[in-house]
Amino acid sequence: MNLEYENSFEIQGGNFQEAGDISVFIKKKLQNLGVAREILRRVAIAVYESEINIISYASKGIIHISISPESVVIDAEDEGPGIENIELAMRAGYSTATDKIREMGFGAGMGIPNIMNCSDKFTITSELNKGTHLTIIINISNNDAEKNR
Ligand SMILES: Nc1ncnc2c1ncn2[C@@H]1O[C@H](COP(=O)(O)OP(=O)(O)OP(=O)(O)O)[C@@H](O)[C@H]1O
Ligand SMILES: [Mg+2]
C-alpha cells in the first residue's frame, strides 16, 4: 500500500455551515487509502474538534494534514484571539463558548480533551491576539502496541 497523502484546508471563522466538512473529506480519503478503522475514527475526531474550534473562536485558520505509512500528522493553525490559559483549556468541561456557539450545539468543553485522547502526541501553542497552533500525531504502524488500546 502506497500510503502518502498531503493536503491543506482553509477555514473561515464563523462559518458554521461548513462545520465538519474537512473531517468528512479526510475520513473518506483515509477509507479509500485503506487505513484501519480505529485510526480513521481518531483522525476524524481530532480534525472535527480542531475545525469546530477554529470556526468558533478564530478569524481564520488552516488545517494541514500529512499521511505517511508511519503516522497521520494534523497541524491546525489559526489567526485569532489565542488561548490565555492553555492548562485550563485542556481541562474537560472548561469552555468560554458564547450563547451563539452553544446554540450551534457546541461548548461542552470537551473538544481539546477529545483531541488529546485521540492523539499519540499532542502539542498546543498559543499567543494572545495572534493565534493558536495544535499539532496532533496519530501513529499508524505499531499503533495498538504503543497505545495498548
Ligand atoms: N482555536 C482556538 N482559539 C481560541 N480559543 C480556543 C481555541 N480552541 C479552544 N479555545 C478555548 O479553549 C476552550 C476549550 O476548548 P474545547 O474545544 O475543549 O471546548 P469548547 O470548544 O468550549 O466546547 P466543545 O469543544 O466541547 O464543543 C474554549 O472554550 C476556548 O476558550
Ligand atoms: Mg471545541
Domain ranges of the chain: 5-147
Give the per-residue pLDDT at 3: 87
Q: Is the pLDDT of residue 1 over 70?
A: no
Mean pLDDT of 11-39: 96
Give the per-residue pLDDT at 67: 95
Separation of alpha carbons 147 and 2, rounded Å: 24
Cβ count within 10 A of residue 1? 7
Give the per-residue pLDDT at 149: 45
Determine the distance separating the centroid of ligand 2 and the alpha carbon of 37, expressed in angstroms. 23
Q: Ligand 1, residues 55, 57, 62, 98: which to mutate, most atoms within 8 A of Cβ?
A: 57
Topology, domain 5-147: Heat Shock Protein 90 (3.30.565)
Contact between 98 and 115 under an 8 Å Cβ cutoff? The reply is no
Question: Is this model's pTM higher than 0.75 or not?
Answer: yes
Q: Is the pLDDT of residue 143 over 60?
A: no
Separation of alpha carbons 64 and 46, rounded Å: 12
Per-chain mean pLDDT for the chain: 94
Q: What is the pLDDT of residues 106-139, one digit of tens each?
A: 999 999 999 999 999 999 999 999 999 999 999 9
Half-sphere exposure of 130 (CA within 13 A, CB side): 6
Give the per-residue pLDDT at 148: 46
